[in-house]
Amino acid sequence: MSKPLWPHDPEALEQDWQAARVLLCCHGVPGMRFSNYRCYVLELYAAQRRYMGEQLAIECVIKVAKYVAQGLDQRILEEIRDTVFGVHAPTP
């Protein structure tokens, strides 16, 4: 079952981004890469608004793969997914 994407909560989105920024700083990610990670956070935020459960986990795996292909660090992407959004990899 999917949830509606709108209305969205800009404050919640900003909180998610700030939490992700802390992780990025802890990992020493250069500031010039923040915009790439912000796009990832925006996509996870939208997916979280639209999906739940196993479907959300699958969507997040797809997003991780997309951004790894763009050169972002898989461990950091997965940590953002797990820590900021509370979504873990789907069960096999």
Q: Write the single-letter amino acid at 47.
A: A
Residue 20 belongs to some domain of the structure = yes
pTM: 0.86
* % of residues, the chain, pLDDT over 90: 77
Q: What average pLDDT does this structure show over 5-27?
A: 84
Residue 91 belongs to some domain of the structure = no
Residue 5 belongs to some domain of the structure = no
Position 10 pLDDT exceeds 90: no
Domain boundaries, position 17:
10-84
Position 70 pLDDT exceeds 50: yes
Token pair 């820590």 in the structure block, residue = 83
- pLDDT tens for residues 23-66? 999 999 999 999 999 999 999 999 998 999 999 999 999 999 99
